[in-house]
Amino acid sequence: MPLPPNHKPGPLNIGLMGGTFDPIHMGHLVTAEEARQQFLLDYVIFIPAGLPPHKEKKQVTPAEHRYLMTTLAVMSNPSFVVSRVEVDKEEPSYTIDTLRYFSTRCAPGTNLFFITGADAILDILTWKDYADLLRLCTFIAVSRPEYPLNKLGEITGKLSPELRTKIHLLEIPALAISSTFIRKRAALGKTIKYLTPEPVEQYIKKHGLYKK
């Protein structure tokens, strides 16, 4: 598992942040850093999806571009790491497979935290092997202040008391940034400065990504 050479010995708290990252943007980075601080994570590993099972291949930028953009975005933070585990897979990537991969490669006692949107948690009962997911890690459900939380309570209420304790809410200051918004602006030739890190902005321009 790729971790910086100066990592501390012994059990770690590791955050896993999956996503298409098409492209990665400031909202992703703010979320990862807030989760790192609030849950005392030693590292956050960004995991760009290879073949997302919920999206058609033609709608997603090639995985290598997304991996390189993510690497450029996090290179200034020594607590952020990027993994190729899903990028290098030839079949669709499921969260349970990725978690099993990391759980078998971490030192004994390591605590895994999976960072995802609170809206995604609403569908967790439909995820592949969701009970095993919750046993393998703690979920950090990220929400914006205006996000309605009543539905989240309804979903977690259907879980056993043991599994219910494995989902924690993290509220992030509202950032009206999304990958879709950035792609649309780039397609129209509009500036995306300050929406994504400058190295990512330059990469998008250099490779002509998202142009019509």
Amino acid 149: pLDDT: 67
Amino acid 176: pLDDT: 73
Amino acid 10: pLDDT: 64
Q: Give me the chain's average pLDDT, please.
A: 89
Q: How much is the pTM?
A: 0.90
Amino acid 174: pLDDT: 63
- Which run of H or E residues covers position 206? helix 198-207
Whether residue 186 contacts residue 192, with contact meaning beta carbons closer than 8 Å, is answered with yes
Question: 26-38 and 63-74 are packed helices; what angle lies between their axes, rounded to 10 degrees?
Answer: 60
pLDDT tens digits, residue range 139-160? Answer: 999 987 666 667 778 888 888 8
Taken in order of first residue, the domains within the chain and their CATH numbers are: 13-176 (3.40.50.620)
pLDDT tens digits, residue range 107-129? Answer: 889 999 999 988 888 889 999 99
Amino acid 8: pLDDT: 57
Calpha distance 49→205 (Å, rounded): 22
* CA nearest to 50, candidates 6, 18, 7: 18
pLDDT tens digits, residue range 157-199? Answer: 888 889 999 999 998 876 778 999 999 999 999 999 999 999 9
Residue 7 DSSP one-character state? P
pLDDT tens digits, residue range 48-91? Answer: 998 766 665 568 999 999 999 999 999 999 999 999 999 999 88
